[in-house]
């Protein structure tokens, strides 16, 4: 099948002839052209008669004018393309007669009103643009030509010279305007074009503002949803933490009950009756006093009570309490490992480090006294005599300190 157009390989534009391809190359610097069997579209507006060569042009024309009825005359106007570059006119009549049948001569620049063309050129329009405007506006008036230029100023071929078949004639031109009228008309048309452009810019700005408002609302909604999800996650996490703390407290309570039962067993006491715990604390007249002997609290229990009292007295500063426990553990451990070293068995009470860590906390010095330390030299020192070092007591003290440090609920229940 013969080629019906030339296709630009750089931008995809379809061109009717070699001349159009040359003009396209000069305007765009594109040089990759190939023959195509696809004809150049010729969609004519059924309302105003404007020809459009692509779907993009019809969309732009519809957007500018509102015209939507187009007649497809592509097949009617499609002709095989001549790939030969047209030759210049022959010098003599014989050569001119032999070249008259060239297909390239079937297309020519349309004839337009010379006066209207001159007036458009005097207004600053290029010749090709003015010719195209007069041709496609019907070559009727200066106002119609200027309006056409305003509507098609973004067309890619706005500055290409139009080509029409030689058998198409332009209607007789109407009388032109006087220079003064041309000047006033040009000023009026420019002002109209400026207002139209400003109105379009204002419309686009309103559209952009609507888009910004919509995007802002979507962003706020997304942020609100994210905050709501984060709040639900925190609530669920706190609930899980409370459940875990509740289970830990229950385990500790059970362990304390077991320890209490074990102590009663070691003391030779009968198991505690659960129903007895709900009876009034004060005995009634008919109740008899227990005749079972009750042993005094052991030293380990007194140490535990001392540490519990220390923590409760300073419950607002967990770091200070933990440091005091660790310092006491160091003192007790040093004596247990080196009972013969006097420096580990003697503590100056007014030592700043000792006062900060242990001495200033209620219960610290009492715990050391339970371990065997005694105040000497008018209360200036705490001293543990060598003969009073009881390794079992020191081990018991270390065990109680370790329990107080490791157990997060020590002193709470």
Intervals of the chain under pLDDT 70: 1-3, 77, 81-106, 166-177, 273-297, 411-413
SS3 39: coil
How do the residues of the chain divide into helix, strand and coil, expressed in percent and rounded to 5? 55, 10, 35
Between the CA atoms of 413, 321, 303 and 399, what dihedral angle is there, to the nearest 10 degrees? 90
- Helix (H) / strand (E) element for 35: namely strand 33-36
Q: What span, in angstroms and rounded, lies between the C-alpha atoms of 75 and 58? A: 18
pLDDT of residue 138: 81
- Helix (H) / strand (E) element for 21: namely helix 18-28
- The length of the chain, given as a count of residues: 413
Helices and strands in the chain: count of H runs, count of E runs: 13, 11
pLDDT of residue 275: 61
pLDDT of residue 235: 93
pLDDT of residue 234: 93
Q: What span, in angstroms and rounded, lies between the C-alpha atoms of 27 and 160? A: 9
- Asked if 272 contacts 290 with a C-beta cutoff of 8 angstroms, the reply is no
Q: What span, in angstroms and rounded, lies between the C-alpha atoms of 60 and 328? A: 90
Listed in sequence order, the residues at least 6 apart from 68 whose beta carbon sits closer than 8 Å to its beta carbon are: 62
* Residue burial 255-275, b: 16+ Cβ < 10 Å; e: rest: eeeeeeeeeeeeeeeeeeeee
What's this model's pTM, rounded to 2 decimal places? 0.31
SS3 101: coil
Per-residue DSSP letters for 176-205? PPPHHHHHHHHHHHHHHHHHHHHHHHHHHH
CATH, domain range 299-406: 1.20.58.2190
Tokens encoding 157: 């071929």
Tell me the domain boundaries of the chain. 1-82, 299-406
Q: What span, in angstroms and rounded, lies between the C-alpha atoms of 345 and 368? A: 11
How deeply is 246 buried, as exposed, middle or buried, from its count of CB atoms within 10 A (0-12, 13-18, 19+)?
Answer: exposed
Between the CA atoms of 348, 353, 357 and 361, what dihedral angle is there, to the nearest 10 degrees? 60
Place of tokens 């003015």: 130
CB atoms within 10 A of CB 13: 21
Q: What span, in angstroms and rounded, lies between the C-alpha atoms of 385 and 382? A: 10
Would residue 379 be called left, alpha or beta, if left means φ above 0 and alpha means ψ between -120 and 50 degrees? left
């Amino acid at each position: 099948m013969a080629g019906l157009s030339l296709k630009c390989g750089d931008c995809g534009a379809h061109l009717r002839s070699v001349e159009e391809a040359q003009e396209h190359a000069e305007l765009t610097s594109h040089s990759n052209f190939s023959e195509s069997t696809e004809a150049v579209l010729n969609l004519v507006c059924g309302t105003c008669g404007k020809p459009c060569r692509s779907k993009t042009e019809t969309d732009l024309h519809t957007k500018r004018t509102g015209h939507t009825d187009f007649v497809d005359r592509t097949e009617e106007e499609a002709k095989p393309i001549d790939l030969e570059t047209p030759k210049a006119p022959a010098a003599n009549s014989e050569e001119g007669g032999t070249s008259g049948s060239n297909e390239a001569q079937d297309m020519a620049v349309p004839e337009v009103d010379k006066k209207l063309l001159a007036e458009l050129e005097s207004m600053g329009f290029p010749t090709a643009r003015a010719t195209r405007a007069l041709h496609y506006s019907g070559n009727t008036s200066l106002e119609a030509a200027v309006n056409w230029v305003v509507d098609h100023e973004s067309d890619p071929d706005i500055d290409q010279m139009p080509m029409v078949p030689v058998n198409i004639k332009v209607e007789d031109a109407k009388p032109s305007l006087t220079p003064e009228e041309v000047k006033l008309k040009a000023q009026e048309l420019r002002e109209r074009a400026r207002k139209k452009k400003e109105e379009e810019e204002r419309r686009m700005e309103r559209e952009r503002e609507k888009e910004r408002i919509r995007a802002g609302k979507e962003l706020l909604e997304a942020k609100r949803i994210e905050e709501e999800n984060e709040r639900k996650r925190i609530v669920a996490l706190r609930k899980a933490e409370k459940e875990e703390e509740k289970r830990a407290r229950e385990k500790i309570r059970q362990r304390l009950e077991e320890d209490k039962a074990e102590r009663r067993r070691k003391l030779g006491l009968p198991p505690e009756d659960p129903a007895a715990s709900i009876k009034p604390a004060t005995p009634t007249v008919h109740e008899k006093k227990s005749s079972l002997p009750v042993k005094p609290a052991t030293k380990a229990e007194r140490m535990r009570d001392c540490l519990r009292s220390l923590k409760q007295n300073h419950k607002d500063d967990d770091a200070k309490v933990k440091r005091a426990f660790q310092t006491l553990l160091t003192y007790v451990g040093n004596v247990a490992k080196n009972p013969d070293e006097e420096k580990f068995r003697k503590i100056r009470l007014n030592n700043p480090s000792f006062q900060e860590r242990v001495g200033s906390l209620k219960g610290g010095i009492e715990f050391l006294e339970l371990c065997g330390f005694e105040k000497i030299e008018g209360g200036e020192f705490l001293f543990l005599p060598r003969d009073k070092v009881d390794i079992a007591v020191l081990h018991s003290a270390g065990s109680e300190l370790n329990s107080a440090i490791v157990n997060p609920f020590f002193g709470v229940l």
